[in-house]
Amino acid sequence: MAKHGRATVTVCSKSFLGLGTGQAKAFGFPDLPIAVIPHPFGSRKRDEIVAIAEQCADDIAQLVIATGQAADAATGAGVESAAALLQVSADADEFNSDFMSRLWGDGLPLIAPTPARVERMLAKVRTNRNEVVACLAPGFGNATVELIAINAVMAGCRPDYLPVLIAATQAVAAPEFNLQALQSTTNPVAVWLIVNGPVAQQLGVNSGMNCLGEGFWANATLGRALRLILRNIGGARPGDLDRATQGQPGKFTFCCAENEAENPWEPLHVERGFKRGQSTVTVVGAEGTMNMNEHTKDAAEFVRVVGETMIHPSSNEYCHGAEPWLMLSPEHAEVLKRAGMSKLDVKRALWESSKMVAGRMSGRGLMRTQSSRKARYGEITPQTVLAIAHQPEDMAILVAGGPGTQSVYIPSFGNTRSVTREVILADG
């Protein structure tokens, strides 16, 4: 952003103009002048970049002179906090067409959020309906309990799912989760929900066979509801503030529970300082899933194969130092446990086996990594050996799924850290 006196101008590439204008409005600058540069420019030659920069400098100077003043920023201005009553058709097809035309839907059929349905949802929490749970980037809408409930109804959630969604909304707004980047990036990252503790069984959140697949009400609607919250309150609509190049199916729904009954170690929420009897939800910025079909019963061999599977030169994880996730099937977890390995032992072994020589990256990838990780590594050369995470403890392990020798590597967005919050029940 360029400033001169009281004049304020921002610079934005053409493909991100929608994001720029949307966030300007959210911050209270609906008329903010924007200097637009052509996209793409990452693949252009040096002389072309120089010419673009010279033209951009001229545009900025003209806009500053023309503007002459700037408004004070006002966060949370982009999305209304209060819910309004609308008259809609009782016909399901007409209702859905109406809501899709208002850009409130995800492309799948919605449930009409009637006052009666919303009230049934709100009865499951002790919190005031107008309480602001979080302010959600990139549109910086205020996520009140009532607005969360409305989106939960539209996603098909049962009323007792609401406390999980309130905790998840709080979690995604934590600074370390980096919601601003996740919501507006070209990366396909989606938010993955992990439910732990008694509430997982109470709500029927699947932790066993097909736990990341279809067929389970809680998994499907909890993940979907959070996506609608991020879309309708946070303002991340595809092609507008959400700039994902391709996206991924996890953006419809991405939710499971941990299979604590077959976990040979302490479950995720206990590892993170909660009591076993507490209920929690964890949010993860996940790029997708990679299945690993491995039949070995040798722990060292298993760790080597999994570590080598995690290595991929175009990864955000090696660029930034990340928090990669491994979803172990109970059978694979048992192989490691029988070898006498603790969860921390597994993390340390994976951290070593997944190291990658920086020279496997492209030239520009190496430049990005140098910019991001210079403080840790100093000068990064093609011979530098990069760890996928800053330290072994940053490797994340979850036990989930049913019978079978399949485990899942879930790469993270890189510049994000998962967040766990307690689920507060109305009768808790």
Condensed to tens digits (0 to 9), the pLDDT of residues 64-75 reads 666 654 444 444
Average pLDDT over residues 324-343: 98
In angstroms, rounded to a whole number, what is the distance separating the alpha carbons of residues 272 and 63? 50
Contact 426, 163 (CB under 8 A): yes
Which residue is associated with the tokens 């899933």? 289
What confidence tier does 78 reach under pLDDT thresholds 50, 70, 90?
very low
In angstroms, rounded to a whole number, what is the distance separating the alpha carbons of residues 311 and 154? 39
SS (H, E, C) the chain: CEEECCEEEEEEEHHHHHHHHHHHHHCCCCCCCEEEECCCCCCCCHHHHHHHHHHHHHHHHHHHHHHCCCCCCCCCCCCCCCCCCCCCCCCHHHHHHHHHHCCCCCCCCCCCCCHHHHHHHHCCCCCCCCCEEEEECCCCEEEEHHHHHHHHHHHCCCHHHHHHHHHHHHHHCCHHHCHHHHHHCCCCCEEEEEEECHHHHHHCCCCCCCCCCCCCHHHHHHHHHHHHHHHHCCCCCECCCECCCCCCHHHCCCEEECCHHHCCCCCHHHHCCCCCCCCEEEEEEECCCEEEECCCCCHHHHHHHHHHHHCCCCCHHHHHCCCCEEEECHHHHHHHHHCCCCHHHHHHHHHHHCCEEHHHCCHHHHHHHHHHHHHHHCCCCCCCEECCCCCHHHCEEEECCCCCCEEEEECECCCCCCEEEECCCCCC
Q: Which residues contact 290 (CB under 8 A, 6 or more apart)?
A: 309, 408, 409, 410, 411
Average pLDDT over residues 292-312: 98
- The two most distant CA atoms of the chain are separated, in Å, by 71
What confidence tier does 260 reach under pLDDT thresholds 50, 70, 90?
very high
pLDDT at 318: 97
363 alpha-carbon distance from chain centroid:
28
What confidence tier does 293 reach under pLDDT thresholds 50, 70, 90?
very high
In angstroms, rounded to a whole number, what is the distance separating the alpha carbons of residues 112 and 96? 8
Condensed to tens digits (0 to 9), the pLDDT of residues 217-255 reads 999 999 999 999 999 999 999 988 999 999 999 999 999
In angstroms, rounded to a whole number, what is the distance separating the alpha carbons of residues 154 and 203? 18
Q: Which residues contact 318 (CB under 8 A, 6 or more apart)?
A: 312, 356, 358, 361, 369, 386, 388
In angstroms, rounded to a whole number, what is the distance separating the alpha carbons of residues 160 and 9? 47
Whether 79 shows a pLDDT value over 60: the answer reads no
Condensed to tens digits (0 to 9), the pLDDT of residues 157-212 reads 999 999 999 999 999 999 999 999 999 999 999 999 999 999 999 999 999 999 99
Whether 5 shows a pLDDT value over 50: the answer reads no
In angstroms, rounded to a whole number, what is the distance separating the alpha carbons of residues 205 and 215? 11
Contact 266, 397 (CB under 8 A): no
In angstroms, rounded to a whole number, what is the distance separating the alpha carbons of residues 325 and 346? 12
pLDDT at 71: 40
What confidence tier does 81 reach under pLDDT thresholds 50, 70, 90?
low
Instruction: Please tell me the least confidently modeled range out of 34-38, 204-208, 307-311.
Output: 34-38
- For the entire predicted model, the pTM comes to 0.87
Contact 205, 195 (CB under 8 A): yes
Instruction: Please tell me the least confidently modeled range out of 26-35, 71-80, 298-307, 353-362.
Output: 71-80
